[in-house]
Structures are given as structure tokens and as C-alpha cells.
Amino acid sequence: MNAGRFILFTAQAALLWLVAAMAQADEHGGGRDALARFSANLNALQASFDQVVLNQEGVVETQGKGRVWLLRPNQFRWSYEGDFPEVIVADGRSVWMHDVVMEQVTVKPQSGMAQDSPLSVLMDISSLDQQFTVRELGKHDGLDLLELVSLSSESEFERVMLGLKEDLIALMVMEDAFGLRTELRFDEVLRNPDLSEEMFQFSPPEGTDVVGEIPGE
């Protein structure tokens, strides 16, 4: 999997999580009720994560771990640890992807990223059921499972599964049109932490190569 596409895929995953967390449930029960309780009065979120990407044959292509911070309505910071640290920051206008080892920053318009993805329609929560088939998957391994299947043939994410435990997000699984399966397991989930706006701002470090157009320049 191309590294740049992997990073963008992860950024879009964070957006999906953020928007799903703001979804309101009606009389559906099960996973949707758990999601509604999780999202009630939710303005910010932080968690640690473990991520695995598998190909069509079920072979692990990439693995990662780190921490994520989210702030309504559209800001996030996604930090990978380990030998190949990476940081992804969405400030509401742009998405910044910093490969620390390569000393390279890629910047993309956040609105452009959303337009290339079915995630843009999720920004209007009232249209969730018009854009996705939403299905309860019951309980498994202590998780309330909820499935979202895109109704668009052009969607990058063909299927998304959310797992909640004790009314907190614990699992997100995404399957794309290329047969790639991304599994994210969350731990140390904290609702409404005190997050500063500075956390969601990014300036390329001195000497770093920048790919893309920096806003205002």
C-alpha cells in the first residue's frame, strides 16, 4: 500500500470516527443506542489506538499504534509512534501529513479531501440513513456492533463497522474498494478532555520539504 495513500486513508478514518461520534440515534436500539449515548454532549475525544491493515488475502501490510485527539466539528490530530513516526493534523482548512523520518510534509485542502470521499455526506448527519444502509450486527465479544454500507458505487469505503463497549468506541473496521481492511482498536478513551486549539495547528519544521500549497502563501 502506498504510504501517502495509507496516511490519507487514516486521516479519512479519523474524520469518519469524528462524524459518527456526533450522530444522533432514533428508536433503533442496540448499536445505535450505544452510539447515541457515547455521542451525547460529546465535543472532544482522545484515545490510544492500535491499527492493522490487511490485504485481500488477509496478510498484514502495515501496523501502527499511537494516539488520536478529536475536536468538533472537524479538527483532529493523529500521531503514530515507533520507528517511523508520522503526524496527521486537520485544522479545519487543511490536512497536514508529516513524515518525520523522511522530513517531508504533505498538505491538502481539507474540503478537497472530503469531496473525494463519501465522508462528505456524513457531515449532514440527518442524511446518514439516505447515504448508508445502517444495520445492527448484535453483540460480539462484548461489543455492540453497527454496520454502515455505502449506497454509492463510487464510495472508497464500501463497508464500515463500529464496535462500542460500555458506551465508548472500541473498534472500527473499514473495507475499501481495493479489498483492503483497516482495523482500529481504541483504548484509554476519554470524552471531552480539555484540548487546546494549538494542538490542531501545524507549521512545517524548518528544513522540511513541503508538498502542496500552504494556505496564505
Architecture of domain 3-211: Clam (2.50)
Of 171, 162, 168, 173, the C-alpha closest to 190 is 168
What is the pLDDT at residue 24? 45
What is the pLDDT at residue 2? 41
Question: Domain locations in the chain?
Answer: 3-211
Query: Which amino acid, 202?
Result: F
What is the pLDDT at residue 73? 78
pTM (predicted TM-score): 0.78
Strands 209-211 and 143-150: unpaired
Helix (H) or strand (E) holding 210: strand 209-211
Cα–Cα distance for residue pair 52/41, rounded to 1 Å: 30
Tell me which residue has cell 478537497: 112
Query: Which amino acid, 73?
Result: P
Cα–Cα distance for residue pair 180/160, rounded to 1 Å: 12
**Mean pLDDT, 10 residues at a time, over the chain (217 residues)?**
48 55 51 77 88 91 90 86 89 92 91 47 49 85 87 75 88 86 92 93 92 79
